[in-house]
Structure 1
Amino acid sequence: MDQSMRELGIGDEGVRKRVRIMVESFYGRTASYMEALENKDNAALFEAFMRNIYGQSGEAVAIKALVHYMHEAVEGLAALPTSEILAGDVKFVAPKTELIRESASNG
């Protein structure tokens, strides 16, 4: 990332500033997602996705499906044996696209 910015002509101070902003954004988002997931607060997770991923213009159906997927992914990862994770043998659950279709058809 650092090298890419330098290739774009951004100087040392500019790189430092931009990387700091990106890191702060990443950790802030991670904290809000983790808190919502740990508290099983779907409304907070929905709001965080709306704000951080969709920029306040996302469709509720897609965001609800993402909230559902996050819970399933976390449960799936929690069920994996540590040995599989350490071996890099991690498989994520497939998103259930039928949830999006059902929600869309129900209005």
Structure 2
Amino acid sequence: MLWPFNHFRKPRLTPAGTIEAIYGMIVTQAREPIFYRDLGVPDTVNGRFDLLLLHLWLLLRRLRTAQDGVEPSQVLFDRFCEDMDDNLREMGVGDQTVPKRMRAFGEAFYGRVQAYDQAIDSGAEALAQAICKNILNGAGIDRARRLAVYAQAAEAALGLAGEQALLLGSFKFPAPNGKDVTP
């Protein structure tokens, strides 16, 4: 289980620079304009958050199968939490409200991880339904299907990446294709 307070336990073996690079790759991929322009992801704080969660989930899902994936998964999750905390503070959220918002982020993360894990194991349509609900606010099932195809392609690409490539941040997410993707 990923726990936001594990950084109090022991020193990290995963280099911070590598995690920064990996987290940067996730953020960069989640900011690809095609997701917003062609695939209907709302270009809002919530839409960007949900797309970030989708990519984080994809990578964490793959790291679960890696022999040395536990620690990088935790460090990556911690980096995500730090980023969310920093973003809240930059938006002017007060110190007393940040913990409540962070709790909401955690609930959103774990809820989506559970929904996506169940959905991807059930097939493309189930994943499309989960994406439609969580990312597209319940509207646009055709676009959700295209996002589901992308998520399945990303899962496959990450599955082909070797463990070292994952741990060193030398893997690539597939290019999203908003027009030619069909389920």
Under a length normalisation based on structure 2, what TM-score does the superposition of the two structures give? 0.47
- The share of aligned pairs that are identical, in percent, is 32
Q: 1:32 to 1:9 in 2, by over 3 A?
A: closer
Cross-structure match for 1:65: 146
Cross-structure match for 1:30: 113
> How many residues end up aligned between the 2 structures?
98
Q: Distance in 1 between matches of 2:117 and 2:149?
A: 14
- Say whether residues 1:92 and 2:173 are aligned partners: yes
Q: Which has the larger share of helix?
A: 1
Structure index of larger Rg? 1
Shift of 1:95: 2.5
Under a length normalisation based on structure 1, what TM-score does the superposition of the two structures give? 0.76
Shift of 1:72: 1.0
- Greater relative contact order (CA < 8 Å, ≥ 6 in sequence): 2
Q: Structure 2: 5+ residue runs without aligned partners?
A: 1-83
Q: Structure 1: 5+ residue runs without aligned partners?
A: none
Q: 1:85 to 1:2 in 2, by over 3 A?
A: closer
Cross-structure match for 1:10: 94
Q: In 1, are the aligned partners of 2:115 and 2:130 still within 8 Å (CA)? A: yes
